[in-house]
Amino acid sequence: MRKFIEGSMAVAEAVKLCRPHVISAYPITPQTHIVEHLSQMVADGEVNAQFINVESEFGAASVVLGASAAGGRAFSATTSQGLLLMGEVIFNIAGLRLPVVITVANRSISAPINIWNDHSDAMAIRDAGWIMLFAEDNQEAHDMHLQAYKIGETPEISLPVMINMDGFILTHAFEGVDVISQEEADSFLPPFKPAVHLDVKNPVTMGVLAEPQWYMEARCRMQEALYESRPVIKQAARDFKGKFGRWYGDVIDTYRIDGAETVFVAMGSLIGTLKDAVDDLRGKGEKVGLLKIRCFRPFPGQEIAEALKNTRRVAIMEKAFSLGASGILGDEIKAALYATPYRPEISTFFIGLGGRDIPKSSIVNVYNQVKAKQQNNVFVDLKTELVK
């Protein structure tokens, strides 16, 4: 049913459809509305889950870890400092191969403290071993939750999935969302059947000590499982399209890329702005296109390289960067291309950090810069007078 709802509500409605056993979270802006909606659903008996209020995000992540280990479907949501505080548990959940789903309302990292959107939080824990998906709009965020549990709970994958959606820009935006019915959801997402779980009838030991002769193999298996998840993610997207007719790409998506001499690359809600900008520029005869990275981990290097093979210029728009190094997407895309004969000119831009607005004019400005010459790690719309 189509509803005019807030992005956070679109997420809460989706989580409800996934029939979680345990939800645990700690309040932090701009994530809070998601779990407020969910706690109301639990209070009203609409969701038959245990809602566990905790003393910190660290506790929330630990609660969903235990809930998943005991064979239940578990959900949490967080952002920014909360995700960092979860950090130790985030790595541990992946190592224990527990298919928890966490929604991250992407937000910048302190200091200076700033509650608005960028991708610094998710990028900071990108090496944790999670499948990391980025939603473009609220409909995709809604739909992505059903796909996330389906992907993570696939027995041979057994990995946690992080759904990233831009804080405020998506979480607090009201728009029309086709809310899936429970019957349709149940026919898409079967009940969780864990490969291994804690059970008094069949006692197992989880979370063992792995000495040097074992540790590397365990980490290697995680790496393999992440790579093996790529076809599973693609299949989930195809299955979803088959059932619901909606398509957002699988690990990547492209927009007006045929014949494009310049291709923008980005993740998250910026895709929407870029689509408009691409349309405007195409209208003026400029040969531009767009590559959306929907799945950041596992990193779809081959798919990206293939999509960019006929492109002259690439403009990578990053909402985070590695301090002391450079753009994260930029480096990974360059590494992916290095394994191929394709050598487009790559420019990298840092944009919208700490929630700075990204008007179409900024995109046009970026386009004009890359058309003139290759650019490296340019802060877009920087107030240069403040950084001298």
Partner 1 sequence: MRNLETSTEKAPKPKKEKEPVVEWLLAAGHRACSGCGEALGAKLVMDAAGPNTYVATATGCLEVFSTPYPESAWRMPWIHSLFENSAAVASGIEASLIAQGRDKDVNIIAQGGDGGTADIGIGCLSGMLERGHNILYVCYDNEAYMNTGVQRSGLTPFDARTSTSPSGKLSWGNKTNKKDLPAIAAAHHIPYVATATVGYPNDLMAKVKKALSIRGPKYIQVHVPCPLGWIHPSDMTIEVAKLAVLTGLIPIYEMENGVVTKVRKIGKNRRPAEEYLKVQGRFRHLFAKGADAEEELEKIRQIAEANIKRFGLV
SS (H, E, C) 71-100: CCCEEEEECHHHHHHHHHHHHHHHHCCCCC
- Minimum CB distance to partner 1 smaller for 64 or for 351: 64
The HSE-up count of residue 141 (CA atoms within 13 Å, CB side) is 36
- Minimum CB distance to partner 1 smaller for 69 or for 288: 69
Q: Does residue 35 belong to the site contacting partner 1 (CB under 8 A)? A: no
Q: Does residue 128 belong to the site contacting partner 1 (CB under 8 A)? A: no
- Minimum CB distance to partner 1 smaller for 48 or for 376: 48
Burial class (CB in 10 A: 0-12, 13-18, 19+), 286: middle
Q: Per CB under 8 A, which of residues 174..213 are in contact with partner 1?
A: 198-200, 203-211
SS (H, E, C) 296-331: EECCCHHHHHHHCCCCCEEEEEECCECCCCCEHHHH
Q: Measured from the CB of residue 232, what is the shortest distance to partner 1 in angstroms?
A: 24
- Minimum CB distance to partner 1 smaller for 89 or for 233: 89
Q: Does residue 216 belong to the site contacting partner 1 (CB under 8 A)? A: no
Q: Does residue 158 belong to the site contacting partner 1 (CB under 8 A)? A: no
Q: How many chain residues interact with partner 1 (CB under 8 A)?
A: 42
Q: Does residue 354 belong to the site contacting partner 1 (CB under 8 A)? A: no
Burial class (CB in 10 A: 0-12, 13-18, 19+), 12: buried
Q: Does residue 246 belong to the site contacting partner 1 (CB under 8 A)? A: no
Evaluated on CA atoms 331, 234, 344, 136, the torsion sign reads negative
Q: Per CB under 8 A, which of residues 39..98 are in contact with partner 1?
A: 48-50, 52-56, 58-59, 62-72, 74, 88-89, 92, 96
Distance CA 172, CA 182 (A): 24
In the chain the first and final C-alpha atoms are separated, in Å, by: 53
Q: Does residue 223 belong to the site contacting partner 1 (CB under 8 A)? A: no
Residues contributing to the site for partner 1 (CB under 8 A):
21-22, 24, 48-50, 52-56, 58-59, 62-72, 74, 88-89, 92, 96, 198-200, 203-211, 214
